[in-house]
Structure 1
Amino acid sequence: MTKFIRRLQKIGSSILVSLPKEWIDANNLDKSSQVEIETGHDSISISANKETRPTKELVITYPLPKEENIVADITGAYLLGYDIIQINSKSILPGEDREKIRNSMRRLVGMEIVEEDASNINMQFLLDSTTLNPEKILKRMSSIALGMYEDVCNGLISNDKSNLQTLSNRDVEVNRQYFLLVRLIRSTLVDKKLANVFNLGNIDVLDYRVAANLLENAGDTIVELSDLIYNSSLSEDNLKKIHGIVQNFHIIAEKSIDAFTKPDRLLAIEAISLHKEFQEKLAKLRIILGNKKQIPIDFLDIVYRFERISKSWADVVDLVKPIYND
């Protein structure tokens, strides 16, 4: 980004400012062209009035250098907002690498292979970014993760724990929504029109990025927890004690997401208070067994994972900005 300094000029009753010639030439503008002007409290933005966002294209030449990885390159391009990714090879693409490319598509919402031959693969992002909604994507991440959480809680007291082994597959969908949200909010940083469509300022975009990362981590921790419970040798009594504390956490988590997405500071304050009470109850679980010579390590591990999970949603609600008196 290049910065220019201009002095305001008064002509008649109007205040005018000249635009940099370099910018005019780069956007093929002339004296009859229209531009878009967006104003903020202490800022103004001028952009070329283009009806459609230019398509971002990337060509990846194959074979890659030894230190590069095709899946990482495709994922990185997706997260950077590229709409078309072309893989061009000087020879036939190996079957193993071709399968890796196909598998990578399953992780990237909206990205599809549209053309393929022996030495070329063309991928395209088929969704319209302006029809997507960061708020809905974040809520979907939270909803999927909380569904996993509910199954983990039920696994504490159920005789049939087979469902716990399927949670890693559902976490894949959390990761898919995470990648989509990261792509979208990164795009808003370089496309002010898109940011205006979502009504997000720079701080809001950053907060969504942080919130998405917290929920993605929560999904990973729930999978870890499901493995611990599945393989646990804890007594039914200890598992029931844990279940009695953690079973209604989804109510707190939902309040946290609602407070963040609205945003609603009063609801956030309520959620923060509920999180504090929840953490205190988890801490008391250790005291229950404190008079015993040795606390089962499984017990501590499971409680610790629940603490980590709850903290993810607590950290999301902490992002809601306080209300300051003018």
Structure 2
Amino acid sequence: MSNVEYRKLQETKSGSYLVSLPKGWVTRMGLRGGATIMLMEESDGSIIIKSGSVEEVEKPNVAVVELDENVGREILGKYLIGADIIHIKAPRRITLEQREKIKNTLTALVGTEIIEEKSNEIIVQCLLSPLAIPIKTLLRRAHILALQMHIDAITAFRDKDEDLAQSVVKRDDDLNRLYFLIVRQLRAIVQNPRLSEKAGISLVECLDYRLVARALESNGDQAVTIAKSAMALKPYEAPGDVIEGLLNLSDIVRKIQEEALTALFKLDTKHAENYVKRELGSKAQSLMEQLNQRILEQPSTMAFYLNEIANSLRRIKENCIDIADLVVKP
């Protein structure tokens, strides 16, 4: 439990202010007169005091992972919480299969490199600084990638293009890598308020951008579902009006995503509410209701996969409406 103490603020003749530090804390930290301490002001107005200079405090964040059947999940978890160096240790020799599993995990994590390998230990370092790529740049990249996956998945459905559908499925790995990087950087900013100031992003914005990133990653998953359904529908001839309806719905949903992201980055609340949610959202809802009835009239197997496409478009639309709901002027 934290100890709470109250100290009086003292004003000097020169106009500066002083407050004494608890003697017990100074002793435990091994400090003495003339030592350097670091003060960090947080967004809520509180101040954090740390012993040592900036160089001493900012040591690499080292994490240890014990090798077991969940090693991939453990590595991902350490990466997401901002570990700079990850030691993967085993009680005995690491097998070739285990090494391959570790390396496959690292391919999904941007900026990670194996810097040392021993018979029973692998050391991984993340070489990417939390501020190396601006968060908004990463979000725009995720938006473009998810949107293009959607476009190509619907095109594959329309043209019965299995190769294009397969490429959409493969690109989901790229979107996942980008998503993990965004989460890592947002967590780093939340854990270190000084990074928030440097990045020009408030802690509240970090929470919103985390939700945006999750929505865009989900949109990529829905594009994969559309692509897989397109491959399954290749032997079938769907009615022309159903195909046209799904293509029209796709156009509206893509527009909702584009305009929701535009409103988010411009902080345009009117655009988000009046155009994205009311106008485009209503159009999409009306078209979905019309399509549902026609899809149910089709043979069972065809109806199942057509419904999968319609549902994926609905989920993309809902994700983007959620993004529009985050648009609030500070």
Q: Equivalent residues in 2 for 1:147-296 (5 A)?
A: 147-232=148-233, 233=236, 234-269=238-273, 270-286=275-291, 289=294, 296=303
Letter in 2 for 1:318: D
Q: Is the helix fraction higher in 1 or 2?
A: 2
Say which is worse superposed, 48-57 or 196-205, in terms of deviation.
48-57
- In the TM superposition, what is the alpha-carbon distance from 1:35 to its structure 2 partner? 3.3
Following the alignment from structure 1 to structure 2, what is the Cα–Cα distance between the partners of residues 259 and 22? 52
Q: 1:16 aligns with which of 15, 18, 34?
A: 18
Following the alignment from structure 2 to structure 1, what is the Cα–Cα distance between the partners of residues 3 and 17? 21
State how many pairs are aligned: 318
Q: Secondary structure at the match of 1:148?
A: helix
Do residues 104 (structure 1) and 111 (structure 2) align? Answer: no
- In the TM superposition, what is the alpha-carbon distance from 1:17 to its structure 2 partner? 2.7
TM-score (norm 1): 0.85
Say which is worse superposed, 141-150 or 208-217, in terms of deviation.
208-217
Alignment deviations for residues 47-82 of structure 1 (CA, whole Å, 9 cap, x no partner): 4450473201122344x3xxx511011111111111
- Cα 1:210–1:202 change in 2 (3 A) is same
- Cα 1:301–1:35 change in 2 (3 A) is closer
Q: Secondary structure at the match of 1:87?
A: strand
Q: Contact 1:91–1:119 (CA<8 Å) still a contact in 2?
A: yes
Say which is worse superposed, 202-211 or 170-179, in terms of deviation.
202-211
TM-score (norm 2): 0.84
Following the alignment from structure 2 to structure 1, what is the Cα–Cα distance between the partners of residues 253 and 27? 57
Following the alignment from structure 2 to structure 1, what is the Cα–Cα distance between the partners of residues 279 and 28? 54
Q: Secondary structure at the match of 2:10?
A: strand
Q: 2:63 aligns with which of 40, 58, 62?
A: 58
Residue in structure 2 matched with residue 308 of structure 1 by the alignment: 315
Q: Secondary structure at the match of 1:152?
A: helix
* Unpaired segments ≥5 residues, structure 2: none
Following the alignment from structure 1 to structure 2, what is the Cα–Cα distance between the partners of residues 37 and 122? 31
Following the alignment from structure 1 to structure 2, what is the Cα–Cα distance between the partners of residues 300 and 219? 18
Following the alignment from structure 1 to structure 2, what is the Cα–Cα distance between the partners of residues 246 and 206? 29
- Cα 1:283–1:132 change in 2 (3 A) is same
Letter in 1 for 2:9: Q
Residue in structure 1 matched with residue 41 of structure 2 by the alignment: 38
Q: Secondary structure at the match of 1:320?
A: coil
Alignment deviations for residues 197-229 of structure 1 (CA, whole Å, 9 cap, x no partner): 222333222112222111111111111111112
Q: Contact 2:40–2:193 (CA<8 Å) still a contact in 1?
A: no
- In the TM superposition, what is the alpha-carbon distance from 1:84 to its structure 2 partner? 0.5
- In the TM superposition, what is the alpha-carbon distance from 1:154 to its structure 2 partner? 1.5
Q: CA RMSD in A?
A: 2.8
Following the alignment from structure 1 to structure 2, what is the Cα–Cα distance between the partners of residues 142 and 26? 49
Following the alignment from structure 1 to structure 2, what is the Cα–Cα distance between the partners of residues 22 and 316? 49
- Cα 1:224–1:292 change in 2 (3 A) is closer
- In the TM superposition, what is the alpha-carbon distance from 1:284 to its structure 2 partner? 4.1
Following the alignment from structure 1 to structure 2, what is the Cα–Cα distance between the partners of residues 19 and 261? 43
- In the TM superposition, what is the alpha-carbon distance from 1:281 to its structure 2 partner? 3.7
Q: Secondary structure at the match of 1:99?
A: helix
Following the alignment from structure 1 to structure 2, what is the Cα–Cα distance between the partners of residues 39 and 88? 36
Following the alignment from structure 2 to structure 1, what is the Cα–Cα distance between the partners of residues 129 and 144? 23
- In the TM superposition, what is the alpha-carbon distance from 1:267 to its structure 2 partner? 3.4
Following the alignment from structure 1 to structure 2, what is the Cα–Cα distance between the partners of residues 290 and 79? 42
Q: Contact 1:156–1:240 (CA<8 Å) still a contact in 2?
A: no
- Cα 1:103–1:125 change in 2 (3 A) is same
Q: Contact 1:265–1:320 (CA<8 Å) still a contact in 2?
A: yes
Letter in 2 for 1:276: G
- In the TM superposition, what is the alpha-carbon distance from 1:322 to its structure 2 partner? 5.6
- In the TM superposition, what is the alpha-carbon distance from 1:130 to its structure 2 partner? 2.3
- In the TM superposition, what is the alpha-carbon distance from 1:155 to its structure 2 partner? 2.3
Q: Contact 1:111–1:126 (CA<8 Å) still a contact in 2?
A: yes
Q: Contact 1:275–1:310 (CA<8 Å) still a contact in 2?
A: no
